[in-house]
Amino acid sequence: MKFQASQSSLFSAFQTLATIIPTKSPMPVLMHFLVQLTGKKLVVTATDLEISMETQLEVSGEEDGKALFPARKYLELLRELPDVPIHVEAADNGRITLTAEGKNYNLASENVQNYPKVPSLEKVEPLRLSQSQLRRMISKCSFAVSRDELRPQLTGVYAKVSAQELRFVTTDGHRLVKIGYQHNGYKGAALESIVPAKAMQNAARLCEREGDIEMFFTDKQIAFRVGPTTMITKLIEGRYPNYEAVIPSDNKNKLTLDLDQFQAAVRRAAIVSNEISRQIRLKISADNVEILVEDIEQGNEGRESVSCSYAGEPMDIGYNAAYVLDVLKQIDTGEVVLDLGTPTSAGIVKPTEQEEKEDLLMLIMPVRLN
């Protein structure tokens, strides 16, 4: 295989796939890019067996072929080369040669026959969405994904697509985010799936430009396509917990707060809170919320008040300050609304006004006051 292309076009294409390459793997072959040349079309693939990503670029091809490029060395070399035409050659013995203006580098590589089979895109009716909207939805829900390997379903993003709506749900059992978006139309099958968090993160990375992203849903995989780049991810098996059942429908106590004031107060209280429990206490009355914090172990304490508007029973409720801050960060409106039930039941957190076509709802579970 032989081809020539500019440093910048090669670097940006390979760089897109770099996050898929595992840093350590019992299969060293996965730490390589699969590179295939047919005429002028260069197809580059990376996979960690769960997620695979492929991109294409045009080069001036000289000899068709297929080879593996050692990912880290190759990418670092490319980065350090000047933006000049680079001549790349893969010899039959597997060695990769980069030549540019008198610079010549020769890299050892693995046998291309050992590369695993990569799934191909199943052509189903795609859902089209603006890249910015998908990126926004992923960034709003990612924080609540569980890292608990014992509950694999919770380590993914629940994705539900129907004719009217795309919905993502994430939860770690203590917080929950549900974000829905009324899209412009989808003719494919309605499906529910659990997408690995790493795949969602990579999808968000693909959404860096103007324009649309296409999503292909099947019951075995989800694919994302932006321009010449396609990412296909396996799904997490199993059943997602019944999240709808834990969203309270009768939380009658409605608390509205100025977002900045409340956020700043909780940030201060978090500093003084116990490092393990991160517990803060909210004493809610008709027109103000008193935030109390006490760390008995360290002997630290604090209190401050934030004005609010509150319709409901006076309430004394405890929270993990870090959880509260995580949730508040997702609010884009000047004020935040908390619909509370009791001091031991889930509270709903919402912006005062939803973005157009969007529906964002978050849940936060209190801590028992001791």
Work out whether 22 is an interface residue with other proteins (CB under 8 A): no
- Residue pair 259/333 in contact (Cβ under 8 Å)? The answer is yes
Minimum CB–partner distance for residue 368 and other proteins (Å)? 4
Distance of alpha carbon 201 from alpha carbon 159, whole angstroms = 14
Minimum CB–partner distance for residue 342 and other proteins (Å)? 11
Q: How many CB atoms lie within 10 A of CB 39?
A: 9
Minimum CB–partner distance for residue 321 and other proteins (Å)? 12
Work out whether 211 is an interface residue with other proteins (CB under 8 A): no
- Residue pair 20/30 in contact (Cβ under 8 Å)? The answer is no
Minimum CB–partner distance for residue 349 and other proteins (Å)? 13
- Residue pair 153/236 in contact (Cβ under 8 Å)? The answer is yes
Distance of alpha carbon 58 from alpha carbon 5, whole angstroms = 8
Work out whether 147 is an interface residue with other proteins (CB under 8 A): yes
- Which residues, including other chains, have CB under 8 Å from residue 29's CB and lie 6 or more apart? 68, 110, 114, 115, 116
Quote the Cα angle for 344-346-348, to 5°: 140
Handedness of CA 297, 301, 307, 311 (dihedral sign): positive
- Residue pair 98/105 in contact (Cβ under 8 Å)? The answer is yes
Minimum CB–partner distance for residue 326 and other proteins (Å)? 14
x/- track of binding to other proteins for residues 232-271 (CB under 8 A): ---------xx---x-------------------------
Work out whether 170 is an interface residue with other proteins (CB under 8 A): no
Tokens representing 128 are: 């089209």
Burial (CB < 10 A; 0-12, 13-18, 19+), residue 71, is buried
Minimum CB–partner distance for residue 27 and other proteins (Å)? 17
Pick the binder of other proteins from 30, 134, 236, 365 (CB under 8 A).
365
Work out whether 298 is an interface residue with other proteins (CB under 8 A): no
Pick the binder of other proteins from 17, 71, 176, 236 (CB under 8 A).
176
Pick the binder of other proteins from 24, 26, 39, 150 (CB under 8 A).
150
Q: Which residues bind other proteins (CB under 8 A)?
A: 147-150, 171, 173-176, 241-242, 246, 277, 279, 318, 320, 344, 346, 363, 365-370
